[in-house]
Each structure stands twice: as structure tokens, then as C-alpha cells.
Amino acid sequence: MKAVFKTITETPQVVPLNTYGRVGASVLIDGAATLAVLADKEDVTSVISKGIVTDVIDYPADAILVTGGVGQIITILQYGD
């Protein structure tokens, strides 16, 4: 597993995830921003209702939607098989 670091440059911003059969990820953002997970990275309205629980994505997801937080760094550690 290798962490991915992405600087937020706009709001909202979609950060794609790698696609696996089963997936999970830990997410950390260095300030105040709203994070949600998307079922389709092309559709910002496809928010998965269970989403992120205590900085962990425990559901299959195509992307993370970041609202607010311009200039902050999001760190994603993703795993899957």
C-alpha cells in the first residue's frame, strides 16, 4: 500500500480512487473540509449515503468528493483485491 497525496485546488473537487473488486481506504485531510464518497466519479450527485465513517471508507466507491478545503492536502491509503 502506498499513500497518495492530493492538494485540493477547487471546490467541489473529485478525487478518483482505484477500482478493485473489493476496496477500502483510509482518508485524512489536514483541515476543515467535507468529504463524501461517490458511486460514479463522473456524477457528483452519486453520493453513497453510508460514506466515510471515522476517516475510513468501508464501501465500494469510485471517488471521493471534497467540498471546501482549497489548499489542503488529502491523503488516501487504499487497499483492495
**Number of domains comprising the chain:** 1
What is the domain extent for residue 28?
Answer: 4-80
Query: What's the pLDDT score for residue 59?
Result: 72
User: Chain centroid to CA 43: how far?
Assistant: 14
Q: What are the residue ranges in the chain where pLDDT is below 50?
A: none
The answer to whether 4 and 79 are in contact (CB under 8 A) is no
For residue 22, what pLDDT is reported?
63
Which DSSP category does 1 fall into?
Answer: -
Distance CA 61, CA 73 (A): 20
